[in-house]
Chain A
Amino acid sequence: MGDVFAWLLFFFILIALLVMIVFQLMCLADLEFDYINPYDSASRINNVVLPEFITQGVLCFLFLVTGHWVMSLLCVPYLYYNVRLYLRRQHLIDVTEIFNLLNWEKKQRLFKLGYIILLLFMCLFWMIFNALEEDEHSF
């Protein structure tokens, strides 16, 4: 039973990650179409960058401690990338150069989005798989 709850937890964490990334993408898109000024856009995005990194790190850690080391391994490249960005101090958006980096920032977040969605589906699969297994056992 615990496994199902664990997967459910992972699932919600992933959803949270997804929301944060989509939010950043939306800010960037708004900026591109001039609905928002670069100052607001940058500060909004920067506000969620660290939470996103931390959430992702926690997720990776949780996978590891719950023994789902394959999933944990899958999270590692993402984590490594984030850590590298952070160490190089490139994780925050630079408001002065935001327009020159717009395409790159968008591309980077789109990749992250795809990655998260992939994880989400795997998580969903395992959750359902576990739930069905539990069901079988309960008979």
Chain B
Amino acid sequence: MGTENPNPPSYPVRPAATPFAAMQSTPPFLSSGPVAGSESSSFRPVPPASSQFRAPPFSSGPVVGSEVPAFRPPPSGRSNELVGPPPSSSSSSSHGPPAAGFQRFPTPSLPSVGHAVPQRTGQPVLSPTTRPAAGTVASPPISLLSQPQPPSIPMGSPPPSMKTGQVNGNIPPPAHQLLSSSRPNVQPSSPPVRPSYVTTPGISQATIPGYVNAQPNTVAQAQPMQPASFTLQQRGYAPGAPPTPFLAQQRSVNPPSLYSGNQMQHHVVAPPTATSPGLAEDFSSLSLGSVPGSFNAGIDNAALPRPLDGDVEPKSLAEMYPMNCSSRSLRLTTSGIPSSMSLASRWHLPLGAIVCPLAEPPAGEEVPIVNFVTTGIIRCKRCRTYVNPFVSFTDNGRKWKCNICSILNDVPGDYFAHVDASGRRVDLDQRPELTQGTIEFIAPAEYMVRPPMPPLYFFLIDVSISAVKSGMIEVMAQTIKSCLDSLPGYPRTQIGFITYDSTIHFYNMKSSLMQPQMMVVSDLDDVFIPLPDDLLVNLSESRNVVDAFLDSLPSMFQDNTNVESALGSALKAAFTVMRQLGGKLLIFQNTLPSLGVGRLRLRGDDIRVYGTDKEPASRAPEDPFYKQMAADLTKYQIAVNIYAFSDKYTDIASLGTLAKYTGGQVYYYPSFQASIHKDKLRHELTRDLTRETAWEAVMRIRCSKGVRFTNYHGNFMLRSTDLLALPAVDCDKAYAAQLSLEETLLTMQTVYFQVALLYTSSSGERRIRVHTAAAPVVADLGEMYRLADTGAIISLLSRLAIEKSLSHKLEDTRNAVQLRIVKTLREYRNLYAVQHRLSGKMIYPESLKFLPLYGLALCKSLPLRGGYADAQIDERCAAGYTMMALPVKKLLKLLYPNLVRVDYSVVNLSPQTDESNIIRKRLPLTADCLDTRGLYIFDDGFRFIIWFGRSISPDVVRNLVGEDFTGDYSKVSLSPRDNEMSRKLMKILDKFRESDPSYYQLCHLVRQADQPREGFFLLGNLVDDQNGGANSYADWILQLHRQIQQNT
């Protein structure tokens, strides 16, 4: 648990089998051997070793070499840590640390043993001879070695002392002597040894897990490879081992030592671990039962893994393929693509990718733009893949080989460049498209169906009585007015407005007018559009009229008492106006649409329906009108964003389809009151209007032959089986796709993915954003687990669950989520539990340590939680639509929000305190963490909940909230006050907001024991606690554990 990084180098190495498997039977061992060898080979120039392995993903010599330092350093640093005191571990359980040390190594180690032997043998020689004190950390190899074994204390000591350590450890002394004697023999060959050290850590580990009965096999293998003298020694060694007390484990320990010979130090280290069998098992199981050891005694709550560092992305893929696009744009649920269908079927989690095509690059980085207008964009003639860093040039640079379909394409004359001896183009440094995973091409005319359209914003505003009362119109009009200058696409931007209640009001905004002209149409069945040409105007030309309109809009309707809302007809009218150009349609809806086409009725508030087969219908869209309308809108490149404000039922389920199928977004402000929600609406509307937007977009994901994207999830409409139509895209939208294998067996070693988004930029240029990524094909389930990405998995899983909740009961949906997690962990357990007595322990891969928690959080999330009473139906649906479009990081934050304590830094008046420190101190989401004297902020990315402890100093509260701090907190808002504490708190809040600008986090103040407000806002959202009939984290783990053990 403690270790967060599955060690990267290890995995490419062994496609074949996990260490354990290897130990069990000879064949696996063999297979693993070569692989491991590959690792070692990479480091060592020695030809024989390398020849055996199948080419690893990053087989190229130079690359590997360069990588080595990159990979190793972190571990080595770690090892240092480990060496001194018993392993320091992060939040994990007591078991955690040791496991951590070992986790990564087991696999590589074994394999390396087989091949590396000859050279390794050299090592020991070195240490005694060349190095005075082998044990000293200073020598790089040693430090590496030390890594695997946390209790490395013996390591520090010089060789002789180590021997003594061995003795203690039950390893027969003769063996050592033998080994030592072997050293001299090997010595001559020793020079290359150093690099080989790197692999050694693996070996040491191997020893530990190996206790099964790998010994004979391994020995046999090793023998042929080794020099004669060495083999002799080994033999001698092996027999010696059995007599030792701990049969199984020791054996394992011994044999590896035999092969490695050189690794005397290791042995020394190993014994201590061997002495505590329990630990050894844990290592071997890779993932330590977090819960586990104390299964019956109850769970140590604090020891459960929690993502308090937020989303930690796996780095291994990026390190293996440095030219991959960033994980911001593309995240695979597992970077190891299964090599066969049978393997894929054992992977019970969704297999797929989360794509965020326009993810914002961090400050200072920019997506390189390439103009290919002269040559035409270089693409594969067969599969239409864009040229990317993974293509290879052959035939002296005259042809290039497509990485996705392997066909040879001609290089156009203008693009020709010579290729040097290593196969690199000489002009590589001037060709960003051949070095960068993310690139933007400027598309020539053949990529346009019509000339690029100007950005268009159309506002459809409900002005019925509730809109007037809530003050929405005023806030909205002010916000739009303030954004007019920053709308993208100046000076081509087009704008238009329609308002409606029981009639539809059009506004003529021709630039020659001084004031907008209002035209009212009351025939809703067949809407007549007056002056169709002047309803949509160029913003820069008609700026004065638009300003005048927005100024007068609030007062125009302030006495409106109309309660009806004819959304359907108004929508049709807007569609007619916009269909020539496409663009963005913003709908401000305040009540249930009640007139004309698309009128909706009250439903879903019947408590008796819950738990019956009719339940899901209330969450599914009812009137096909909106779906049909959405399809038509997409066809004409219109994206719809819905802003809903009502305090009563508005049927978001039906209205939301407009956003869902047009690539839009749903914003929901239940019971909107201008005085409270003003800032939120202002911020979010501003962001919606001013963020960089891609128009008229289509997206396609290509991938290597043999795999195929089958299902897509998110806000878009499919235009053909694999083409996503996205009338408007921006950085806040992500799309999920599920991957399936088409062939029973994949023969290639790498699968490539290419995401291409063809769009019109606000400036009126047609562009193609291309992301390319490579991922290794693996033949081993353990490898898939090791390369899994919890964030992507949860993102895909939540989309599947939300979709399922539209046609199934909530209960069934939650059970399905749980079942998937159980199946996953059970499969994992089956991989390892057989060799290791793990009863009473729950084991899971390091990469998925947060999966159970996020699964629980998903079941407690707004769209899926509880039953009828636990959430308003509209809130459920709105949250569902939002979650369907969220990028991974934001989704994870929503599922497992930040909880931080701030009273110290607020009260501490020294101006120097650093706010960023606070952000790092996240707390587990449990009421036990709440101190009655504390002040806490709960931040899920969409709102802040500020919790005041019961015993907090009244002084603080007065300073922050004002004089009425004893009153009703639902009416108190947190505004900046003229004192240091308030300024401090505001600064902290601003800091939080800056880090997540896509939504505005409105503050909700909650006082301890102020029910039901506290329960509603905070307690119900504390994922780790038991709430509303849902499990607490500990119970959930126990429940999972119980189910996993059934049928195993």
Binding site for B on A (CB under 8 A): 31-32, 34, 37-39, 89, 92, 94-96, 98-100, 102
CA gap between A96 and B640 in the complex, in Å? 15
| Interface bits B648-673 vs A (CB < 8 Å: 1, else 0) | 00000000010001000000000000
The minimal Cβ–Cβ distance linking B647 to chain A, given in whole angstroms, is 30
Q: Tell me whether B628 and A95 are in contact (CB under 8 A).
A: yes
A/B interface sample: 12 pairs, CB < 8 A: A31-B720, A34-B720, A34-B721, A37-B720, A38-B719, A95-B627, A96-B627, A96-B630, A96-B631, A96-B717, A98-B718, A102-B721
Given contacts A38-B719, A96-B657, 12 further A-B contacts (CB under 8 A): A31-B720, A34-B721, A38-B720, A39-B631, A92-B624, A96-B630, A96-B631, A96-B661, A96-B717, A98-B718, A99-B720, A99-B721
Q: Which residues of A contact B661 (CB under 8 A)?
A: 96
Q: Tell me whether B718 and A99 are in contact (CB under 8 A).
A: yes
User: Given A96-B657, A99-B721, are A39 and B630 neighbors across the interface (CB < 8 Å)?
Assistant: no
CA gap between A99 and B717 in the complex, in Å? 10
Q: Tell me which of B631, B711, B720, B721 contacts A95 (CB under 8 A).
A: B631
Q: Which residues of A contact B718 (CB under 8 A)?
A: 38, 98-99
- How many chain B residues sit at the interface, stated as a range, is 10 to 19
Q: For the complex, is B635 an interface residue (Cβ under 8 Å from A)?
A: yes
Of A32, A98, A99, A100, the most chain B CB neighbours within 10 A belong to: A99
User: Given A39-B635, A94-B627, A96-B630, are A32 and B719 neighbors across the interface (CB < 8 Å)?
Assistant: no
Q: Which residues of A contact B635 (CB under 8 A)?
A: 39
Q: Which residues of B contact A96 (CB under 8 A)?
A: 627, 630-631, 657, 661, 717
Q: Which residues of B contact A38 (CB under 8 A)?
A: 718-720
CA gap between A136 and B720 in the complex, in Å? 59
Q: Which residues of A contact B711 (CB under 8 A)?
A: 100
Quick one: closest B residue to A42, CB to CB?
Answer: B631
Quick one: closest B residue to A102, CB to CB?
Answer: B721
Of B630, B635, B720, the most chain A CB neighbours within 10 A belong to: B720
The minimal Cβ–Cβ distance linking B290 to chain A, given in whole angstroms, is 38
The minimal Cβ–Cβ distance linking A7 to chain B, given in whole angstroms, is 40
The minimal Cβ–Cβ distance linking A43 to chain B, given in whole angstroms, is 10
Q: Tell me whether B624 and A37 are in contact (CB under 8 A).
A: no
Quick one: closest B residue to A92, CB to CB?
Answer: B624
CA gap between A99 and B718 in the complex, in Å? 7
| Interface bits B809-828 vs A (CB < 8 Å: 1, else 0) | 00000000000000000000
Leading 9 A-B pairs by shortest Cβ distance:
A99-B718, A34-B720, A95-B631, A96-B661, A96-B627, A96-B631, A96-B717, A99-B721, A39-B635
Quick one: closest B residue to A37, CB to CB?
Answer: B719
CA gap between A98 and B717 in the complex, in Å? 10
Which B residues between 607 and 635 are near A, CB-CB below 8 angstroms? Answer: 624, 627-628, 630-631, 635
Quick one: closest A residue to B711, CB to CB?
Answer: A100
Q: Tell me whether A32 and B721 are in contact (CB under 8 A).
A: yes
Quick one: closest A residue to B723, CB to CB?
Answer: A34
CA gap between A92 and B631 in the complex, in Å? 15
CA gap between A37 and B631 in the complex, in Å? 12
The minimal Cβ–Cβ distance linking B119 to chain A, given in whole angstroms, is 56
The minimal Cβ–Cβ distance linking A12 to chain B, given in whole angstroms, is 34
The minimal Cβ–Cβ distance linking A92 to chain B, given in whole angstroms, is 8
The minimal Cβ–Cβ distance linking B624 to chain A, given in whole angstroms, is 7
Of B630, B661, B721, the most chain A CB neighbours within 10 A belong to: B721
Q: Which residues of A contact B624 (CB under 8 A)?
A: 89, 92, 94
CA gap between A100 and B586 in the complex, in Å? 28
Quick one: closest A residue to B662, CB to CB?
Answer: A96
CA gap between A92 and B721 in the complex, in Å? 20
Q: Which residues of A contact B657 (CB under 8 A)?
A: 96
CA gap between A107 and B721 in the complex, in Å? 17
The minimal Cβ–Cβ distance linking B330 to chain A, given in whole angstroms, is 22
Q: Which residues of A contact B627 (CB under 8 A)?
A: 94-96
Q: Which residues of B contact A31 (CB under 8 A)?
A: 720
Quick one: closest A residue to B632, CB to CB?
Answer: A39
CA gap between A49 and B981 in the complex, in Å? 69
Q: Which residues of B contact A39 (CB under 8 A)?
A: 631, 635
The minimal Cβ–Cβ distance linking A48 to chain B, given in whole angstroms, is 18
Q: Which residues of B contact A98 (CB under 8 A)?
A: 718
The minimal Cβ–Cβ distance linking A133 to chain B, given in whole angstroms, is 51
The minimal Cβ–Cβ distance linking A60 to chain B, given in whole angstroms, is 27
CA gap between A96 and B719 in the complex, in Å? 9
Q: Which residues of B contact A32 (CB under 8 A)?
A: 721
Q: Which residues of A contact B720 (CB under 8 A)?
A: 31, 34, 37-38, 99
CA gap between A100 and B630 in the complex, in Å? 17
Quick one: closest B residue to A98, CB to CB?
Answer: B718
CA gap between A92 and B625 in the complex, in Å? 13
CA gap between A34 and B722 in the complex, in Å? 10
CA gap between A32 and B657 in the complex, in Å? 24
Quick one: closest B residue to A36, CB to CB?
Answer: B720
The minimal Cβ–Cβ distance linking B579 to chain A, given in whole angstroms, is 14
CA gap between A92 and B171 in the complex, in Å? 76
CA gap between A135 and B627 in the complex, in Å? 58
CA gap between A100 and B628 in the complex, in Å? 16
CA gap between A38 and B725 in the complex, in Å? 12
Q: Which residues of B contact A34 (CB under 8 A)?
A: 720-721
CA gap between A39 and B661 in the complex, in Å? 13
CA gap between A58 and B719 in the complex, in Å? 37
Q: Which residues of B contact A89 (CB under 8 A)?
A: 624
Of A31, A92, A95, A100, the most chain B CB neighbours within 10 A belong to: A95
CA gap between A96 and B635 in the complex, in Å? 11
The minimal Cβ–Cβ distance linking B40 to chain A, given in whole angstroms, is 48
Which B residues between 662 and 714 are near A, CB-CB below 8 angstroms? Answer: 711
The minimal Cβ–Cβ distance linking B427 to chain A, given in whole angstroms, is 37
CA gap between A55 and B631 in the complex, in Å? 30
Q: Which residues of B contact A95 (CB under 8 A)?
A: 627-628, 631
CA gap between A102 and B712 in the complex, in Å? 14
CA gap between A95 and B632 in the complex, in Å? 10
CA gap between A89 and B623 in the complex, in Å? 10
CA gap between A56 and B225 in the complex, in Å? 78
Quick one: closest A residue to B718, CB to CB?
Answer: A99
Quick one: closest B residue to A39, CB to CB?
Answer: B635
Quick one: closest A residue to B713, CB to CB?
Answer: A100
The minimal Cβ–Cβ distance linking A44 to chain B, given in whole angstroms, is 15
CA gap between A38 and B722 in the complex, in Å? 12
CA gap between A98 and B720 in the complex, in Å? 10
Q: Which residues of B contact A100 (CB under 8 A)?
A: 711
Of B628, B631, B657, B711, the most chain A CB neighbours within 10 A belong to: B631
Quick one: closest A residue to B635, CB to CB?
Answer: A39
CA gap between A80 and B764 in the complex, in Å? 55
The minimal Cβ–Cβ distance linking A103 to chain B, given in whole angstroms, is 10
Q: Which residues of B contact A99 (CB under 8 A)?
A: 718, 720-721
CA gap between A116 and B651 in the complex, in Å? 41
The minimal Cβ–Cβ distance linking A64 to chain B, given in whole angstroms, is 32
CA gap between A38 and B718 in the complex, in Å? 8
CA gap between A89 and B721 in the complex, in Å? 25
CA gap between A74 and B774 in the complex, in Å? 56
CA gap between A122 and B600 in the complex, in Å? 48
CA gap between A31 and B723 in the complex, in Å? 12
CA gap between A96 and B717 in the complex, in Å? 6
The minimal Cβ–Cβ distance linking A116 to chain B, given in whole angstroms, is 28
Q: Which residues of B contact A92 (CB under 8 A)?
A: 624
The minimal Cβ–Cβ distance linking A70 to chain B, given in whole angstroms, is 34
CA gap between A99 and B631 in the complex, in Å? 13
Q: Which residues of A contact B630 (CB under 8 A)?
A: 96
The minimal Cβ–Cβ distance linking B39 to chain A, given in whole angstroms, is 43
CA gap between A100 and B718 in the complex, in Å? 9
CA gap between A63 and B786 in the complex, in Å? 64
The minimal Cβ–Cβ distance linking B626 to chain A, given in whole angstroms, is 10
The minimal Cβ–Cβ distance linking B881 to chain A, given in whole angstroms, is 14
